[in-house]
Structure 1
Amino acid sequence: MLLFLLVFITLPLLSESDGISLDKASNDLSNQASLQNGAKIFMNYCFGCHSTQYQRYERVANDIGIPFELMEEHLIFNSEAKLGDLIKNAIPEDLSAKWFGISPPDLTLVARVRGIDWLYTYLRSFYSDPSRQFGVNNVVFPNVSMPHVLEELQGITKPIYKTMIVDGKKVEVIVGVQSDGTGELNEEEYDQAVLDLVNFLEYSSDPIKLERRVIGWWVMAFLVLFTIVVVLLKKEYWRDVH
């Protein structure tokens, strides 16, 4: 499989005001099947260029429910890597910088930096553009400097144009993409695959998010009970004083 993905350096943070409507990524970090599929997609399509070097294989396997033997057999591609190692790829930085113009960044924290809605929309917005180095462009990130590595899943895509009035003039604006249907997945399946990948990247950016939420509820419950005890104690104390 093709093993390139996501040169996010110098990407602008986009919002509705930038003229791009971001699609909602309805992630579910408690869905281990989604996280496992996202990890598989990441390792097969992204890991050739990008690392998540602040994670370890063993921790990921534990967190998202992958047996160690399956992790070693299917998701650790470096024959010298061990379960306890950090998830680093083997691409030399000088070569990657030569190929892409800049070394592809680590993606451990990309979901925090860009946001899950941005990632979800971006990965579904590549379209064919023969004028570009890798033959593709992107609606969310114009003049993107990377190939569409998920093309075999989505198929070849063409831009969808819409006529809009800008400064009193009619202009053709790209508002979306349409697959030619040659991909391995249909539109719904591809959207789900991208959602799984984004779900995994969100997990990577904050592995203890769910645990922290649970702890937060326990802390709030303790504070409520503690406040009740303190109020009752205060009343009892001042009753004796007066």
Structure 2
Amino acid sequence: MTKNFLSRAAVFAAGLLLGSVALANEGGNLQQAGTDLGDKASLQRGAALYMNYCGGCHSLKYVRYARIAEDLGLSEEDVQANLNFTGGKIGDHIISPMSAEMGIAAFGKAPPDLSVIARVRGSDWIYTYLKSFYLDESRPVGWNNTLFANASMPNPLWELQGLQQPVFGKKTETGELPVEGFTISQPGTQDAHQFDQTVRDITAFLEYAGEPAALKRESLGVWVILFLVLLAGLAWMLKSEYWRDVH
């Protein structure tokens, strides 16, 4: 039993090590998202952008419309009018109208739920991913992505960003042409600075969706620390009083 346990532990540790190395290699070229969960205006913009550009395909099945209203300082009427495009009730979870069958027919695979994507991938990954789409006629949907090669989805924000063309580097020993940069062949409705903020807002909203309780948890954290400091002071005073009688 001990040998089996040690063997399994060794395999598990090796898996963690390989996974960490893979994530480190993938994250080597990530851009800093710079999100701020304390910025409610950013979260509100991100919610609107997500619902308009992402919500048609991707669900947030662990988040309710009512929770968004409560956490982001919006009225239920605002959420129902501007964020709920499915006709659901305010207490419903955010479910995309696209079925798995529709997603497979359109993209070759069902679009994944994004409730916890920020916890799985990280905010920097989402930010970089949304900025890394480029036109690729060899792909079924006409788009590719430098961070997630051969992604099945098109660029959901191309109208804002514009049409991004790849700039290739020197051919590698394996015959591949690495993408070293981008050029905009057709401008979008936003300039580079505006688009960066748009992607940052969406990323912040997905970070919030991954752990809605984080907003309250972080605000309560300061009071918890102050309480612990006060408790430590009282404990020290009590200890001094007891030891005074002992001596």
TM-score bracket relative to the smaller structure: 0.7 to 0.9
Among all aligned residue pairs of Structure 1 and Structure 2, give the percentage whose two residues are the same amino acid: 43
Counterpart amino acid of residue 210 in structure 1: L
Q: Return closer, same or farther for 1:173/1:51 CA change in 2, 3 Å cut-off.
A: same
From 154, 168, 178, the equivalent of 1:147 is 154
CA distance in 2 between partners of 1:77 and 1:241 (Å): 72
TM superposition shift of 1:186: 1.1
- Unpaired segments ≥5 residues, structure 2: 1-19
From 189, 192, 216, the equivalent of 2:197 is 192
Once the two structures are superposed, the pairs formed by residues 41-56 of structure 1 within 5 Å of their partners are 41-56=49-64
- In structure 2, the partner of 1:235 is 240
- In structure 1, the partner of 2:104 is 97
CA distance in 1 between partners of 2:215 and 2:102 (Å): 38
Counterpart amino acid of residue 227 in structure 2: F
Once the two structures are superposed, the pairs formed by residues 138-177 of structure 1 within 5 Å of their partners are 138-163=145-170, 172-177=177-182
SS at 1:156's partner residue?
strand
- In structure 2, the partner of 1:7 is none
- In structure 2, the partner of 1:70 is 78
**Is 1:130 equivalent to 2:137 in the alignment?**
yes
Counterpart amino acid of residue 57 in structure 2: C
Report if the CA contact (8 A) 1:163-1:170 is conserved: no
Moved more, 194-203 or 222-231: 222-231
Note the alpha carbon deviations across 1:152-174, whole angstroms, 9 max, x for none.
Answer: 1111110123348x67x997421
Note the alpha carbon deviations across 1:26-65, whole angstroms, 9 max, x for none.
Answer: 0011112211111111111111111111111111012112
Report if the CA contact (8 A) 2:109-2:152 is conserved: no
Counterpart amino acid of residue 233 in structure 2: I
SS at 1:195's partner residue?
helix
- In structure 2, the partner of 1:226 is 231
CA distance in 2 between partners of 1:25 and 1:15 (Å): 17
Counterpart amino acid of residue 140 in structure 2: Q
Report if the CA contact (8 A) 2:160-2:195 is conserved: yes
SS at 1:220's partner residue?
helix
CA distance in 1 between partners of 2:27 and 2:103 (Å): 32
CA distance in 2 between partners of 1:195 and 1:67 (Å): 24
Q: Aligned pair count?
A: 228
Considering only aligned residues, what root-mean-square deviation do their CA atoms show, in Å?
Answer: 2.3
Counterpart amino acid of residue 85 in structure 1: D
TM superposition shift of 1:212: 1.0
TM-score scaled by length of structure 2:
0.84
Q: Return closer, same or farther for 1:171/1:83 CA change in 2, 3 Å cut-off.
A: closer
Counterpart amino acid of residue 185 in structure 2: D
TM superposition shift of 1:98: 3.2
Once the two structures are superposed, the pairs formed by residues 103-114 of structure 1 within 5 Å of their partners are 103-114=110-121
TM-score scaled by length of structure 1:
0.86
CA distance in 2 between partners of 1:32 and 1:14 (Å): 34
SS at 2:179's partner residue?
strand
CA distance in 1 between partners of 2:133 and 2:235 (Å): 59
Once the two structures are superposed, the pairs formed by residues 10-25 of structure 1 within 5 Å of their partners are 15=23, 17-18=25-26, 20-25=28-33
- In structure 1, the partner of 2:215 is 210
- In structure 1, the partner of 2:9 is none
Q: Return closer, same or farther for 1:230/1:144 CA change in 2, 3 Å cut-off.
A: same
Q: Return closer, same or farther for 1:14/1:72 CA change in 2, 3 Å cut-off.
A: farther
Counterpart amino acid of residue 37 in structure 1: R
Q: Return closer, same or farther for 1:19/1:43 CA change in 2, 3 Å cut-off.
A: closer
Report if the CA contact (8 A) 1:108-1:205 is conserved: yes
Report if the CA contact (8 A) 1:15-1:22 is conserved: no
